[in-house]
Structure 1
């Protein structure tokens, strides 16, 4: 079964309530999975990066501007990385390291943050190189919380709970993960991106 809720309905009071809902979901799910081809996973975002993202959401959807409160909630969600009770398997596309969110300074700080946390016991982080051969047609970003998948569409948030559909998302994630670089090889991609933003004006 799938359930779609329009963002303008879900975010009718602003971003904070939804961010708090995500915090609760993360706290209740000991193990999570995320695939993001073109942006940084929210639980690894710096405050500056998240401020740009949520500001864009507010402007695009025309919802009440409580972006600062939404960012504060997103920062609280990141505690799960350090509490010793949660584990996350995350795959980013290399493009996520180059999508300009906020300019060079924000991107440098963001990549430094990832390099700082990449070896956390709670985190397995892979990066799919842009030129990688992937045994999977290009797919959108998604997050998995146990037996539930959440997909952020342009107009709505989609929650997938039908077991057969969830199984396809697991299969897709496994293929993206297989194509990703981990450990030192992933750090090399991060450092190359950091050097790019060093040289950007």
Structure 2
């Protein structure tokens, strides 16, 4: 699902959207000239959109589907158009303004979401991290990607964001692979503190924590890239070099389905605590 942010791939995405709009127009029996006349714009605009030279606005898409009697496609087409140039953002470009800025940029999303579904195959989910663990994770971004070193300020923002866990109106379903518990971030002291914190935070009324054990038969619940589902409207996916934002309803549905499959492979409650405790014991 990831799309490159290079100009050539953005152009291909525009062309794909244009082709879909052309198909909708042709299926309706309208010519490009007739659609342009009915929409009140120049015929060349229709051509530019269909050939991927112009990205249609939300209003353009609504007019197009209304005239072609295909309004059931509005949500998907608008989400696709909005996402073409903005859904794939390079970490380095985000981090150029500082790690604190990256953390602050998602505050409205976290405050406005009611249902969170997080799957982590790399690290402990940010909302469940201790300050020391977060500091170690963000320090890696500074070391490997040359981000500005404002780690302490960024840690403070992330810790403040965790107050949503206690809002009383939001629900959090968290899934982690067992190897996340076994991967030492920072040092043994930091990791032990993080694992102790996981046991404590899993007892919060709003939090469901599932751990997918190593060595089980997983069926269709294959490990995948880490992702977060915000309500049923948006997904963010963590890649090595970028953050991918998915808003197209059909693609969001795929991630919701994947989360459900992964949830079925996880253990909860006492069984999850046993795996966390075993990881603490393994630290010595």
State the TM bucket, normalised to the shorter chain. over 0.9
- Pick the aligned partner of 1:149 from 226, 230, 235: 235
Instruction: Give yes or no for contact 2:222–2:262 (8 Å, CA) kept in 1.
Output: no
In structure 1, distance between residues paired with 2:230 and 2:135: 24
- Pick the aligned partner of 2:212 from 128, 148, 156: 128
Instruction: Give yes or no for contact 1:38–1:94 (8 Å, CA) kept in 2.
Output: no
Q: CA RMSD in A?
A: 1.1
* Structure 2 residue matching 1:109: 3-state secondary structure: helix
Query: Counterpart in 2 of 1:61?
Result: 145
**Greater relative contact order (Cα < 8 A, sep 6+):** 1
In structure 1, distance between residues paired with 2:273 and 2:120: 17
Gap regions ≥5 residues in structure 1: none
Alignment of 1:38-77 (within 5 A): 38-77=122-161
Alignment of 1:37-186 (within 5 A): 37-134=121-218, 135-146=220-231, 147-186=233-272
Moved over 6 A (4+): none
* Structure 1 residue matching 2:244: 3-state secondary structure: strand
Q: CA deviation at 1:133?
A: 1.9
Larger radius of gyration, structure 1 or 2?
2
Instruction: Give yes or no for contact 1:39–1:95 (8 Å, CA) kept in 2.
Output: no
Q: Greater helix share, 1 or 2?
A: 2
Q: CA deviation at 1:38?
A: 2.8
* Structure 2 residue matching 1:144: 3-state secondary structure: strand
Q: CA deviation at 1:138?
A: 2.5
In structure 1, distance between residues paired with 2:259 and 2:153: 32
Q: CA deviation at 1:173?
A: 0.5
Q: Figure out how many residues of one structure are paired with residues of the other and give that number.
A: 198
Cα displacement string for residues 84-141 of structure 1 (whole angstroms, at most 9, x for unaligned residues): 1211101000011011101110111001001111111110110000112222333111
Q: TM-score, normalised by structure 1?
A: 0.95
In structure 1, distance between residues paired with 2:151 and 2:175: 26
Q: CA deviation at 1:53?
A: 0.4
